[in-house]
Structure 1
């Protein structure tokens, strides 16, 4: 079990499922991405450069696709609470896996 899997296992089962699906979505776009815990959360790297990060919280999942991932998808992300370089996907709502996939594709091409 790698560090990312250990991180995901630390959450309640229903949150684990969402985190696992996000991980699967990222790896489907970037199967060669290196997974590691960075800044206390799962990070995915291509060519030793950050691709995206995600993190579980009590009421949401944080997704980090800086610097350009959030800018490119600003209109679609408007419906979510955001911080500098982050977006929060509430756990009580549908996680936008297709949007995550498209952001990862964009980051992969524009890293």
Structure 2
């Protein structure tokens, strides 16, 4: 079992389903993402770099794409969600739209590809 799988398995509903859903979408967008840790959080990693972490907090769920630029670039899909330069906060009752998750993950993947000089076909 990987870091993300173990973390999600230890959660209670409704947070488990919400977080599991975000990771499911992220794996669809970046199928070669691997489970690991980043900044002490269970995270998906891509090309050795942190791609995405999603963690339960006391009053919300935090999504961390490890890039303020990615959050800024997806701002139009994040209206109504509390966000800082490194976090997007949501709840199971007010989940992030699938389109927003896909954009955040795609943008972060593209940012990593650019940083390592990888071109997408």
- TM-score normalised by length of structure 1: 0.86
Is contact 1:64–1:86 with CA below 8 Å preserved after alignment? yes
In 2: Cα distance, 1:93 partner to 1:67 partner: 22
> Any gaps of 5 or more consecutive residues in structure 2?
113-121
1:24-103 pair list within 5 angstroms: 24-65=24-65, 66-103=67-104
CA displacement, residues 16-70 of structure 1 (integer Å, 9 cap, x when unaligned): 1111111110000111112113333221222112222211123321111214210
Q: After the TM superposition, which segments of 4 or more aligned residues of structure 1 sit over 6 Å from their partners?
A: none
Q: How far 1:87 sits from its partner (Å)?
A: 0.9
> Any gaps of 5 or more consecutive residues in structure 1?
none
SS in 1 for 2:14: helix
Is contact 1:32–1:46 with CA below 8 Å preserved after alignment? yes
| Bigger Rg, structure 1 or 2 | 2
SS in 2 for 1:95: coil
CA RMSD of aligned residues (A): 1.7
Count residues in correspondence. 111
State the partner residue of 2:115.
Answer: none
